[in-house]
């Protein structure tokens, strides 16, 4: 299976963010959304608030399609807002 390039993944992340309501986007101000190649444990994404730096990391190799990238971005945004896995799954992004 062909993986998205870093540029394609970044574009898909931006598209996912652009589809969020303005009210949610305004709450994400100051949250960095970055793309890395892979997570050692195979995670698709992670919300990482470590050390006061709030960031969402999307792992390119675990998200082979634009739709997966979008789903992962929305999943991690849910974690940013304090949702657990069960709550996110009920919304269809688990």
Nearest-5° Cα angle at 47, 49 to 51: 15
Structural domains of the chain in order of their starting residue, each with its CATH number: 6-90 (3.30.2010.20)
| Residue (of 90, 61, 54, 64) closest to 75 by Cα position | 90
In the chain, which residues have pLDDT < 70? 1
């Amino acid at each position: 299976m062909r993986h998205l390039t870093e540029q394609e993944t970044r574009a898909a992340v931006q598209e996912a963010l652009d589809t969020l309501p303005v009210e949610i986007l305004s709450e994400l101000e100051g949250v960095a959304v970055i793309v890395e190649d892979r997570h050692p444990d195979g995670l698709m994404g992670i919300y990482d608030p470590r050390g006061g730096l709030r960031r969402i990391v999307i792992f390119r190799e675990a998200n082979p399609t634009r739709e997966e990238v979008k789903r992962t971005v929305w999943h991690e945004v849910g974690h940013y807002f304090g949702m657990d896995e069960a709550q996110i799954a009920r919304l269809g992004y688990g």
